[in-house]
Structure 1
Amino acid sequence: MRRTTFKILGTGCVGLGLVGAFLPLLPSTIFFILAAGCFARSSPALEARILNHPVFGPPVIAWREHGAIGKKSKTLAVAGMAFGYGVFLFTSQPALWLGLGVGLFIAGCAAYVLSRPGVPKKPAAETCPNRL
């Protein structure tokens, strides 16, 4: 039952990650990180498919090994948060307390993203195309 639950959750996260790969404001990497975690508990073969994927694998591995987020990803994430907050303010015109609360929450999220280390550069001898 537990393995099945993690496999279903992982599959859902992969689905959201794929949608996020095509929608500009929906992140994809976080869903692939979550999916890999779920598959680690339910299906090592599916986990390996995520880790070996040429596009989605490297950010997941960087997060797992170093808690790292690439510079381009940080820039896109913070810009997306700022854009989303601007859309929120413009379209909903919230009460002052709500606007400040949402702004503080988004600022905290942005601070967390910016506080993560960058992806370390590996020497050519350590680069391995097949992780598993």
Structure 2
Amino acid sequence: MWKPLLIAVGLLSLVCGAIGVVLPVIPTTPFLLLSAFCFTRSSERLHNYLVSHRIFGEYISNYYNHAMTPQHKFRTLLTLWCGIILSCFLIGATIPWIILPLIATGVSIHIIRLKPRPEATPTASSPEADSGSEPHFADDHKA
């Protein structure tokens, strides 16, 4: 009974995450993490597809490894601050000019503190390449 429901929620969440890749209003990572959660408990095939996907797998890998490439950090911070500043101008009230930058500062600190992940793909002789096509998910959660 739970498997079909988890697959349906995972697929719906995957669609929302895919839409979030191109629409800045919709978050991507939370939806993809929900999909990974649902697929882990319902379909090994769908979970393997998601974590090894060319685009979506990077989001999940970044979260599991608590790491981002410097280029991804830069793009994320640039998009975050452009969106916050645009929102403040569009809203125009004083309170958003205080609250939104405070939230963005907290998020920025979190992103900056993430450990750097190399941008280059692993070579055939590296230990990461021995793990197959799936991304490596670290078990330690050190900050």
Q: TM-score, normalised by structure 1?
A: 0.79
Cα offset, 1:26, TM superposition: 4.4
2:9 equivalent to 1:9 = yes
Distance change (3 Å), C-alpha of 1:39 and 1:12: same
CA contact (8 A) 2:17 2:31 kept: yes
Residue type of the alignment partner of 1:72: Q
Residue type of the alignment partner of 1:88: S
Residue type of the alignment partner of 1:131: E
Q: What does 1:1-132 align with in structure 2 at a 5 Å threshold? A: 1-24=1-24, 26-64=26-64, 66-95=65-94, 97-120=95-118, 122=122, 124-125=124-125, 126=127, 127=129, 128-131=131-134
Q: Distance in 2 between matches of 1:68 and 1:12?
A: 26
Residue type of the alignment partner of 1:75: F
Q: Distance in 2 between matches of 1:22 and 1:98?
A: 25
Q: Which runs of 5+ in 2 are unaligned?
A: 136-143
Cα offset, 1:94, TM superposition: 1.5
Task: State the SS of the aligned residue for 1:124.
Answer: coil
Residue type of the alignment partner of 2:12: G
Q: Distance in 2 between matches of 1:28 and 1:115?
A: 20
| C-alpha RMSD over aligned residues | 2.5
State the 4+ residue runs in structure 1 displaced beyond 6 angstroms: none
Q: TM-score, normalised by structure 2?
A: 0.73
Query: Which range moves more in the overlay, 53-62 or 103-112?
Result: 53-62
Cα offset, 1:129, TM superposition: 4.4
Residue type of the alignment partner of 2:97: G
Q: For each residue in 1:55-99, what CA deviation from the matched residue of structure 2 results, as whole angstroms up to 9, or x when unmatched?
A: 3224423432x211222221111111111111111111122x332
**What fraction of aligned residue pairs are identical, expressed as a percent?**
22
Q: Which runs of 5+ in 1 are unaligned?
A: none
CA contact (8 A) 2:73 2:112 kept: yes
Q: Distance in 2 between matches of 1:100 and 1:107?
A: 11
